[in-house]
Structure 1
């Protein structure tokens, strides 16, 4: 059904080139058969049913409303501008010299419309009646308005971000760039706001040289958060599935719309008495009302001391086949109800006999949850779903849009290319930077991520293949709910550590994973998840599809790794200059390299006394050595010559291009060095070995000889590190 004439713009009277046009047809947007198609003249362009729109695009951003612009001329200007951005190859748009040549996505277009509407409303309040009167002063005034945040009294209390300022400047620039297209009103021909500068320059947008500015999740937040999420997925997940099934089975009993329920019969009292007798016979507590229902009863006159106050009499009546237990029935049924309460008591309906599980802090076993009301059970299942999203995001690096594109059945069959080694794959879509409809892609993930998806499928309300697994969700809100639950008495009872206040977004999870893999292969994630598995999974994902989403993540990881190596080499060079030398078999070679760099710098400074070397100049000299640096758990490996690498000799692969850190014997390899940062690892190893030696029996001479040699080697390494850094000596080997 088409909109009425009052709801449409009379565009033909202004001679608009788009008058009467089918918006989706011109923009190349496909709609299902029978769907109403938005027309250019309509006040509302509804793109809700467009095929291929990303799941993460909110419904509100799929409806382009123009009624917020009161002036019909400016309303037409807004329509023409948005249409031009959607169809840049239209004959009326293509000749414009400064028009976009690539169609804007709907999400970008709706942002332009919102900002343009805000600008026109601002002009209307300043009694501006035509776009021709807009000058540079008005442009500056609007930018100033959008630059600062003010309170109700007009006092500046903050400053908007760069994106808001750029959007404000961009609208004015668009009105200039598309001036010749507009038929109802247009800015003056000599308007050049901000001297013709781009919107990004006006907004002082960062140039991008600083790289990715998204922060990682703080360690003090990530540790308890990831611990809690893994505990819920791996330990509580199966029981949450059972709880969800229990709620489904009792849905009809808890609802008054159950088919076949009666309002009353002559046998109603006998039927309800029989149900109460069944509760007593099976020793089942009567169902309990939720707190807000109890408050409602008290407000209607129930006594707070009445033993029947918390009893969910409606559920009992529905068990007997009646829609509810009417108040007029209560006097006749009070006696059997009181007897049942005295006999079996009153309890929350769900999870009454919860299974015992181990506590997260290892303090023992306890029931995985206390009895719950329906609303509490629904909330707990939602918390477990959020835990699954958290585990998946933290271990796979998938973007929010990619998570929302996941569907039931996205888990691919497990592969086992080598006996005992399994590969887990999931399928989704890449949306960012892709054409409408996205591009199919696959991720190779670790097993916790694979199991998190399996759990989410089991908790799905309609687990049919092809249904959206998570759908569109607001993780920032879900995270707050999750954190509140972990910090609540329920989470404390399960031994979960408190999650401090602070941000944790999906973008931050992706950033954290790349930094952990690049900077700290033994960092926070490795405390709960084997980081090697994350690296292997991401690398396999890149190899299986070099142009896929995991390739982008791996590229970010490699950049972080290169930055980390440069920082480490520079730090060790500064240590060398301060007299703190490396230890280990490769220390002499590294020291000679640092000496050559230091000599080169000193020579240049003598030749040019006014020349001061900064860190970037030094990094340029150190960069070649940084490229061969590999981090071991207790050493640095300077992989300059594969033929000298002890690990490759032991593995029988002398021509490999990377060291095998897992086989590293840094106390003997000529390319390994030890530094003060490794001392704690060696001390811990020595203490552990000493403990094992003390526990060996007299007859276990072979093990004693092996462990004694290992202990002596650890003490030797510690002594060498202390000698190089002038630290305190350690005790002699026994």
Structure 2
């Protein structure tokens, strides 16, 4: 292809003139949707079929008018369409062009960076891409790398992704230069020696620690407790409240069907209003109260602060009487009747009156689930319960934001009861990340609290049509801020909810927290509210059902954390052994002999050894194989080296299983179980509780006493063994 520019620029592309953008890119539009052509300065992808719900409408519109120069605007259009349609006959021969079409989201990111780059060039008085030099490329990368304050001083650095985007825009202009009609970079330009944008930006290799941090324990505990409480205790009442709000809205608007239109010049409807006031007094129902901002507006209009009718919603009374509005000139006529009714029944917010009692979250006596609410407050409470359901689903299932947004009404699959009393719950959605346009259908095997949270979201939905988006696009950061403020307010305190401290929380952090909690079970914050074993089983079943699905990725992340945890635990116990803190239990001798062998190999005092292991990495390598056999029990470590010796498998009659049955572990007798100082509090507490139970037994319950006494003696023996092993080094010294 020739690299020379056309002798004259007429504003038209030499490649894509008249092209149908969606047709070239292989994007599907509904039959009645307007189609965008190449010459349009705004490309609208709003109605493209299959775009993820997470993609906001603003990101579906490509506005090229933000690029002021017509030549550079044409360059941007040609570059973006080339990335959307890499199989175009003119794009495909380019040696360094992308071979797979980029997603609409990625192309929007490229356009945004092009706008910044062209604006930066204009500020530096560069009017043609031919003028760009390697020094300009490095200067732009530095411009996007650093964060400056108002005085131009460097106060930080942007992320690797920002730096990569800055480098990528230059690389793209080089790689696609032969495609451009109006302007192109010099053929000799080879920024950064031809390195990729990722290399230029020094992107992490991916083998380092996940940069997404888990939610802090002090935040996770009260947040999850509040979410579960609101879903279970307040959920049914919030559903009823939502129905009442919708019913009220149907009859409370001024243009509701059946209302008689009136105006200030109409006669005062004394009879109609008097009948409504009589109904309120007869039923002892408080008059409806205005929203606070309407009360403030009345004060601005000259109402007296001590006027008893100031908070009364007279418009609501008028609509109850079949009138479209309450005209202010009627007030002088109706004031005596209004004040008389007010004196008898008072005024109160219309929603949440006589609320049912619910048990408080902190165990205190039952309390009304809500105080009387105005309409805005009622809508807010429903929204808070919706957010609680979203938090519950996200924190316990590990679904990504994009997967939550793809949930639709009817996504709950009927429970499968394979065993009497044990049900499997499934949720249907789509995987969007890394999938073709339109996503890939998938199902999540979840535990019952997630299933009930999704059911609550369906019940709170304004539209009951099957297939409608259940949650739709939402900002979790905004929702969580409202949720936290409500929990920390007087309303949350009244219900016994613990306050949520300040700190970052987002959906990525919730997913990371779940994976770590599953890997580090049986301890952890989630284990205090939800049985982690149930979540682990559900996730494993989801992986087995759909090996390539979303839960397979989550389980892979969990297994990675679990391997890291086991290795660190084994290393910690090896260091304890070196310091004389020995394990106890039936498997202690085997583990001590293993540690002794490792210690001998890392002994640097022996110069005759052919190979000496001298650093921590080598020690970890020696411990890795043993770490793969470690399984955590609530009161012991299980070293599953030989299935034929596992007591739990013998009791269950499954001697060939490849994993221990921790729930059936009798660590005081199993030859592969060990006890360590970290397990002492569990055994000590068990001994104390058992002693309490023995003291409460009557003289005639000899069988129970014998069984509990044996259990108590065993717990005390384990505690004594742990103490003896821990202090052995001190005694020998």
Q: Could you tell me how far apart the structure 2 residues matched to 1:471 and 1:436 are?
A: 18
Match of 1:725 in 2: 726
| More divergent stretch after superposition (145-154 vs 119-128) | 145-154
SS of the equivalent of 1:158 reads strand
Q: CA deviation at 1:268?
A: 1.1
SS in 2 for 1:715: helix
- What is the SS of the residue equivalent to 2:650? helix
What whole-Å deviation, never above 9, does each CA across 1:600-638 have from its counterpart, x for those lacking one? 222696347996622221111111111111111100011
Aligned position for 2:480: 479
CA drift of 1:156 comes to 2.8
SS of alignment partner, residue 62 of structure 2: strand
The verdict on how the C-alpha distance between 1:727 and 1:406 changes in structure 2, with shifts beyond 3 A counting, is farther
CA–CA distance in structure 1, aligned partners of residues 445 and 108 of structure 2? 35
Taking a change above 3 Å as real, the CA distance of residues 114 and 289 of structure 1, as seen in their structure-2 partners, is same
Structure 2 CA distance, aligned partners of 1:128 and 1:605? 69
1:542, distance to aligned residue in structure 2 (A): 1.0
Instruction: Measure the CA separation in 1 of the matches of 2:98 and 2:207.
Output: 25
1:617 and 1:426 map into 2 onto residues whose CA distance is 45
SS at match of 1:443: strand
Residue matched to 1:5: none
What TM-score, normalized to structure 2?
Answer: 0.96
Equivalent residue, structure 2, for 1:386: 387
Q: Which residue of 171, 181, 184 maps to 1:183?
A: 181
Query: How far does the alpha carbon of each residue in 1:443-482 deviate from its partner, in whole angstroms, 9 at most, with x for none?
Result: 1100000000000000000021100000001111111111
Match of residue 630 from structure 2: 629
Does the CA contact (< 8 Å) of 1:43 and 1:65 recur in 2?
A: yes
Distance 2:9 2:503 in 1: 51
After superposition, where does 1:566-645 map in structure 2 within 5 Å? Answer: 566-602=567-603, 606-607=607-608, 613-645=614-646
The residue that corresponds to 1:7 in the other structure is none
Aligned residue in 1 for 2:65: 67
Partner of residue 93, structure 1: 91
* Structure 2 residue 524 is matched with structure 1 residue 523: yes
Alignment of 1:297 with 2:295, yes or no, is no
C-alpha contact (below 8 Å) 2:22/2:28 kept by paired residues: yes
Give the number of aligned pairs: 720
Q: Look up the match of 2:120.
A: 122
**Partner SS for 1:422:** strand
* Aligned residue in 2 for 1:470: 471
SS at structure 2 position matched to 1:412: strand
Which one of 138, 141, 166 corresponds to residue 140 of structure 1?
138
Give the drift of 1:552: 1.1
Deviation of the 1:494 alpha carbon:
0.5
- Are the counterparts in 2 of residues 356 and 368 from structure 1 also a CA contact under 8 Å? yes
CA distance in 1, matches of 2:344, 2:615: 83
Matching residue of 2:3 = none
1:254 Cα deviation after fit: 2.6
Question: Unaligned stretches of 5+ in structure 1?
Answer: 1-9, 730-734
Match of 1:105 among 103, 106, 110: 103
Displacement after TM superposition at 1:14 (Å): 4.7
Q: Is contact 1:275–1:316 with CA below 8 Å preserved after alignment?
A: yes
**Deviation for aligned residue 1:173:** 1.2
Give how far 1:260 is off: 3.5
Distance 1:565 1:549 in 2: 25
Q: Is the contact between residue 722 and residue 728 of structure 1 (CA under 8 Å) also seen in structure 2?
A: no
C-alpha distance in 1 between matches for 2:13 and 2:652: 78
Q: For 1:195 and 1:630, how far apart are their aligned partners in 2? A: 50
The answer to whether structure 1 residue 314 and structure 2 residue 312 are counterparts is no
Equivalent residues in 2 for 1:543-558, closer than 5 Å: 543-558=544-559
C-alpha distance 602-728 of structure 1, shift in aligned 2 (>3 A): closer
**Aligned match of 2:233:** 235
* CA distance in structure 1 between the partners assigned to 2:676 and 2:599 by the alignment: 19
Q: Which moved more, 1:180-189 or 1:225-234?
A: 180-189
Cα distance, 1:154 vs structure 2? 2.5
Q: What residue in structure 1 maps to residue 350 of structure 2?
A: 349
Cα distance in structure 1, aligned partners of 2:679 and 2:102: 52
Q: Which residue of 1 aligns with 2:654?
A: 653
The aligned counterpart of 1:3 is none
Moved more, 698-707 or 450-459: 698-707
By how many angstroms is 1:490 displaced?
0.5
Question: Partner of 1:107: helix, strand, or coil?
Answer: helix
Is residue 98–residue 177 contact of structure 1 (8 Å, CA) maintained in 2?
yes
Q: Secondary structure at the match of 1:253?
A: helix
Which residues in structure 2 correspond to 1:654-733 (within 5 Å)? 654-726=655-727
- Equivalent residues of 1:253, 1:315 under 8 A apart: no
Query: How much has 1:727 moved relative to structure 2?
Result: 8.7
Matches of 1:326 and 1:662, distance apart in 2: 72
Residues 251-330 of structure 1: matches in 2 within 5 Å?
A: 251-261=249-259, 262-264=261-263, 265-266=266-267, 268-330=269-331
Residue of structure 2 equivalent to 1:4: none
Note the C-alpha offset of 1:146: 1.3
CA contact under 8 A between 2:425 and 2:445: conserved in structure 1?
yes
1:190 partner SS: coil
Matched residue of 1:602: which SS? Answer: coil
> Structure 2: which 5+ runs fail to align?
1-7
Looking at structure 1, the residues matched to 125 and 11 of structure 2 have their Cα atoms a distance apart, in angstroms, of: 25
Tell me how far apart the structure 2 counterparts of residues 604 and 45 of structure 1 sit (CA, whole Å): 73
Whole-angstrom distance in 2 between the partners of 1:57 and 1:521: 38
CA contact (8 A) 2:588 2:674 kept: yes
CA contact (8 A) 2:394 2:510 kept: yes
1-side partners of 2:578 and 2:107: how far apart?
56
Displacement after TM superposition at 1:103 (Å): 0.7
Q: Could you tell me how far apart the structure 2 residues matched to 1:127 and 1:269 are?
A: 76
The 1:308/1:694 distance shift into structure 2, 3 A limit, reads same
CA distance in 2 between counterparts of 1:159 and 1:675 reads 45
- Root-mean-square deviation over aligned CA pairs: 1.7
Separation (CA, whole Å) in 1 of partners of 2:425 and 2:485: 32
Deviates more, 1:538-547 or 1:342-351: 538-547
1:438 aligned residue: 439
**Alpha-carbon separation, structure 2, partners of 1:268 and 1:14:** 70
| Offset of residue 141 of structure 1 | 2.0
Q: Is the 8 A contact 1:224 1:498 kept in 2?
A: yes
Worse overlay, 102-111 or 616-625: 616-625
Tell me the TM-score normalised to structure 1 length: 0.96
Q: Does 1:457 align with 2:458?
A: yes
2:594 partner SS? helix
The SS at the match of 1:584 is: coil
| Range with bigger deviation, 610-619 or 275-284 | 610-619
SS of equivalent to 2:607: helix
Indicate if the aligned counterparts of 1:11 and 1:41 stay in contact, CA closer than 8 A: no
Counterpart Cα distance in 2 of 1:613 and 1:184: 64
